[in-house]
Each structure stands twice: as C-alpha cells, then as structure tokens.
Amino acid sequence: MNHFDYRDGALFCEGVRLADIAETVGTPAYVYSSATLERHYDVFKSAFAPREVLVAFAVKANANIAVLATLARKGAGADTVSQGEIERALKAGVPAERIVFSGVGKTEEELAFAVKARVHQINVESIAELEALSRIAASLNAAPAIAIRVNPDVGAGGHEKISTGKGDTKFGVSSAQALALYARASADKHLAAKGLAVHIGSQIRDLKPLEDAFRVMRGLAEKLRADGLSIERMDLGGGLGVPYFNEPPPPSPDDYATMVKSVFDGFDVALAFEPGRLIAANAGVLLSRVIRLQERPDKEIVVLDAAMNDLIRPAIYEAYHEIKPLSDTSNARVAYDVVGPICETGDTFTRNRQLASLKPGDLVAFMTAGAYGAVMASTYNARPLVPEVLVRGDRFEVVRQRWTLEDQLKLERIPDWG
Ligand code: LLP
C-alpha cells in the first residue's frame, strides 16, 4: 500500500497535489512519501512481532538523508556498502549499533573507518577480507563484530544483473569455506565472530529460493554450534519484491515472516534483515513534463524532460514503471513510446504503452521509483541531478536541491599546460 492516489482527477502524495510540487520545484523531480516509508517499515517489523528483529534499511536503495532520518526515527538500522553510506546513515541519526557494513570491495580505509565508528557488524565476504580486517583491528586494538557472508548457491531475483546467490557470482563464500572462515574468526582475539549473513538477490517474487537459502544457513549454524562455536546472529539480507504494476503481488511481509519463523523454529538467534526496495520503492515517484510529441506514420512518441540518467532501471534491466498523468480527467487512451532527451536509443522508458492522451506541458509520474531511482542517477549529457522532495501530510520540503551547472563545473579545471 502507498499514499499516492487520485482525488478528483488529480494525483496526490499524502495531502499534497503532485502538480503543486512540480510547479514549485520544476521537473524532473523525485517525490517521497513519509507515511509510506513509515508504513512499510512498520509492516515489515511487526510481521516478526513479538520477536525483536533488526531491520537495517539498505541505504543503496535510497540514500537521501531525510529518507534515512525518517526511518531512523522509527528505529530502523542501516545496511551500508561504502564509507559514504555509513557516513550518511550516521548523519541521518542511525546509531552505529544499528549499522551493518556489507560489500565485496571494502577498502582497508573503509574497514578502518567502520571499526573506529564501532558499527554493529561487518559482513565479511572472503578470506582475504577477513585477514585484512583482522590486521586492521589489531592495529586499532579493537575486536569488531563480524558475520561471514555465505553464498548458498541458490539463484533468485528478478533480473540476472541483480541476482547474487548463485555460486558463480562474486558474492560471499561457499558453505564449506564459511565453516572454515568462521572457525578462523572465532579463534582471533581481534575479531568478535557473531554469526552468518546471506543475500541472494533482489525483486524476488517467490519464497522458495529464500527458504532454501535460509535452510542452508540454519544447517551451517547448527554445524558451527555442534563444533562448540557461538552463533548469536543471523543476517538474512533483503530481496523481497514489490508490485511494479497491476500484477499478482509478490509474497507479503507476513508470508515472508511466517516462512522465516518456520525455518528458524526452535533456533535461538538474533535475526536481522536488509530490505531496501520493499521499504522505499512504492514510497517514491519521479515527476516529469512532456516536452513534445513526435508523430510518426506508425506511432506516436512522447518526449519527456526526464531521461535514463534520472531513472536508469528501464534502460538496464528492462524494468517496468507505471506512468501516470498528474491530471487524469479523460478516459481516452493512446499507445505511446515514451522517451527522454538523451542521445541514445536506450533512453526509451517504454514502447507501445496505452496511456492517457498527453500533450506538451502535461505532467506525469513514474511510479515505484523510490528505490534505485535517484541513487542511480548520473549527469550524462551534462544534465543536472534532479531535486528530491519529501512529503509529510500536507507539507513538503526539498530535501536535495537541483544541481546547477556550476555544481558540476566547480570540480573540473582546464590545465594550464603553458
Ligand atoms: N543487502 C544486500 C547485501 C544487497 O546487495 C542488497 C541489494 C540489499 C540488501 C537490498 O535488496 P532489496 O531489498 O532492495 O532487494 N539496482 C537494482 C537492485 C540492486 C540490488 C542490489 N543489492 C534495481 O534497480 O533493481
């Protein structure tokens, strides 16, 4: 459920007419709903009640500090994959003891930063990383809490580019290696071995692969306990899908929680999750204005002011985002190709889609754009990063300003080769 709906033909976000935001801040612009972010967090968290679980929002899905602060106030933690994301989470008010640091390519500087920041847990993805972390921790006279990220060799996820759980991807260590690594970490006085972590992919629409992966995790944890090692925590990653259009919905958080509870029935361990898309996707839209229509003998093309640099998901994953007019007062439907202004064919949001009839100047919203939208934007074609707006009730605030050309140029210089 989200808080974007039509009232008398005008699309609203909570109590704010989206056209008012477009007129005030211009287009393109991302708009997020506080109530939807909060609701999704609550629904996920309460699905596990009365069990206390850590819900660490995957910052990669939406890193705006106002979004993170909204979730932090509810008690959310943060799943991070770079020093920048850790710093954003801290700045937004996520306490270090709720921050998880994941990722295959943490640099030594980033590991040292995370150790000094005393984050809740570092998810280690290889023997080489474990050794580097042990050295760094020794030099800082620390003993960071770690989990070993297991690659359970289970495939899942909506698109090949976002599936992480098969054995041949770059993520985590095999089950056999995990046992050896965990024993090695448990014997190291500069590492506090706490548990195991797993994440098998994103936009997962079926509980079966998740359940298979979680059973592998339980089996590994049981073996480690049988060997006398302590396993206090299990980080089960993110990945649960969301509906992008009027399609059969993916499993609900309640179904997911029921499955998790059954897999870990009778096994005493602190559970953590790293949902990103589930919390943020349906909490955000990208507003755009029609620049012009190109009439062709065989089709009509709508050229928008938003482009693949603002929302890249259709270009790289063939992702489907619903496109809704901000003012929907007629029943007429027309088949359009919808494109942006960038000079490549990949800058096509959709082909031959039935939409409300559009004319130059009309406003539209790309739905379900709150996750992996603004964070994946670039300045390709010297286009500025677009503003982000947060709505709460009948108020809205610009939480990231539109870049200017000066913002882009101030980091560049022409060398004086003299
Ligand atoms: N934890 C880890 C270790 C991850 O790698 C990810 C996502 C998550 C949690 C959050 O997954 P979620 O709950 O959002 O599915 N850019 C792609 C998605 C890439 C996901 C990468 N990892 C897209 O736009 O679909």
Read off the pLDDT of residues 180-210 as tens digits, 9 standing for 90 and up: 999 999 999 999 999 999 999 999 999 999 9
Atom of ligand 1 nearest to the CA of 202: 15
User: Ligand 1: distance of its center to the CA of 297 in Å?
Assistant: 41
Read off the pLDDT of residues 341-360 as tens digits, 9 standing for 90 and up: 999 999 999 999 999 999 99
What is the DSSP annotation of 375-394?
GG---GGGPPPPPEEEEETT
Average pLDDT of the chain? 96
Residue 159 pLDDT more than 80?
A: no
* 343 assigned to active site: yes
The pTM score is 0.97
Helix, strand, coil in percent for the chain, rounding step 5: 35, 25, 40
- Copy the structure tokens of residue 235: 């980080």
User: Mean pLDDT across the stretch 149-161?
Assistant: 80
Q: How many residues are recorded in the chain?
A: 418
The pLDDT of residue 384 is 96
Residue 158 pLDDT more than 80?
A: no
Q: Report whether 267 contacts 301 (CB < 8 A).
A: no
User: Mean pLDDT across the stretch 323-349?
Assistant: 94
Residue 155 pLDDT more than 80?
A: no
User: Mean pLDDT across the stretch 78-90?
Assistant: 98
**Ligand 1 environment, Cβ below 6 A:** 58, 60-61, 79, 102, 162, 199, 202-203, 237-239, 274-278, 313, 317, 371-372
Read off the pLDDT of residues 254-281 as tens digits, 9 standing for 90 and up: 999 999 999 999 999 999 999 999 999 9
User: Ligand 1: distance of its center to the CA of 202 in Å?
Assistant: 5
The pLDDT of residue 332 is 85
Read off the pLDDT of residues 202-253 as tens digits, 9 standing for 90 and up: 999 999 999 999 999 999 999 999 999 999 999 999 999 999 998 899 999 9
Kindly report which listed range (94-103, 166-175, 337-346) carries the lowest average pLDDT score: 166-175
Q: Report all structural domains of the chain as residue ranges with CATH numbers, in order of start.
A: 4-31+281-409 (2.40.37.10), 34-279 (3.20.20.10)
Top mutation candidate among 60, 161, 234 for ligand 1, by most atoms within 8 Å of CB: 60
Q: Please, is 410 exposed, middle or buried when counting C-beta atoms within 10 Å of its C-beta (0-12, 13-18, 19+)?
A: exposed
**In the chain, % of residues over pLDDT 70:** 98
Read off the pLDDT of residues 366-405 as tens digits, 9 standing for 90 and up: 999 999 999 999 999 999 999 999 999 999 999 999 999 9
Read off the pLDDT of residues 106-120 as tens digits, 9 standing for 90 and up: 999 999 999 999 999
Closest listed residue to residue 372, CA positions, set 72, 159, 90: 159
Please tell me the distance from the alpha carbon of residue 27 to that of residue 29, in angstroms, as a whole number: 5
Residue 333 pLDDT more than 80?
A: yes
Among all chains, which residue has been given the structure tokens 């495939």? 155
Read off the pLDDT of residues 7-45 as tens digits, 9 standing for 90 and up: 999 999 999 999 999 999 999 999 999 999 999 999 999
Residue 162 pLDDT more than 70?
A: no
CB neighbour burial string for 360-387, b if at least 16 within 10 angstroms, e if fewer: eebbbbbbbbbbbbbbbbeeeeebbbbb
Residue 157: band (very low, low, confident or very high) from pLDDT cuts 50, 70, 90: low
Q: Which candidate in 128, 176, 226, 343 is catalytic?
A: 343
Residue 156 pLDDT more than 80?
A: no
